[in-house]
């Protein structure tokens, strides 16, 4: 024997479990809009951590510099500082949601380059997954919490008034 309950939204009689599942699904649908924000924030935090780590302790990163960098007209430490600065600046832009597509595309390319340097293994697999997540931000573009969208809305509202 199944207990039944009236579904007021569709006018059907359903099992009570179905109503509870629908209520849960409705709650989850409302949370979907936060997924791009959470992904963008998580990826930005990863880049910020690595960027600040490179600025704080460049000697720790010297072993990661590719061999072709020896042809550059400056020290290895300078390249590490430059890379750390790049990651901090672009991660901050990503976190704020400014130039979202451009920034996520560059950061994704940057990660793919790192994957080619570290090769197949645990670090390479992790960085490849981060690159794919970063490219998904690129494909999605600015979400509703990005300053890109917020500023665009405000500008369009100002034009209307």
d(CA 119, CA 87): 21
**Residue 118: per-residue pLDDT:** 87
106 with 134: CB under 8 angstroms?
no
The answer to whether the pTM exceeds 0.85 is no
Strands 4-7 vs 12-15: parallel, antiparallel or unpaired: antiparallel
- Taking the C-alpha atoms of 54, 60, 65 and 69 in order, what is their torsion angle to the nearest 10 degrees? 80
- With beta carbons less than 8 A apart as the criterion, state whether 61 and 80 touch: yes
- pLDDT, position 2: 47
Residues of the chain with pLDDT under 70: 1-19, 160-161
Cβ–Cβ under 8 Å, residues 149 and 143: yes
**What's the pLDDT score for residue 69?**
84
């Amino acid at each position: 024997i199944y207990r039944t309950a009236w579904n007021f939204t569709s006018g059907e009689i359903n099992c009570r479990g179905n109503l509870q599942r629908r209520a849960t699904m409705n709650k989850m649908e409302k949370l979907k809009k936060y997924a791009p924000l959470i992904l963008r924030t998580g990826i930005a935090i990863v880049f910020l951590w690595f960027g600040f780590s490179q600025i704080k302790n460049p000697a720790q990163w010297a072993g990661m510099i590719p061999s072709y960098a020896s042809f550059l007209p400056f020290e290895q430490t300078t390249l590490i500082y430059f890379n750390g600065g790049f990651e901090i600046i672009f991660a901050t832009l990503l976190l704020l949601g400014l130039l979202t597509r451009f920034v996520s595309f560059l950061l994704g390319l940057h990660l793919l380059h790192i994957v080619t340097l570290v090769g197949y293994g645990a670090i390479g697999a992790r960085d490849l997954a981060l690159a794919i997540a970063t490219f998904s931000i690129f494909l999605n573009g600015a979400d509703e919490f990005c300053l890109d969208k917020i500023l665009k809305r405000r500008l369009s509202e100002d034009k209307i008034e």
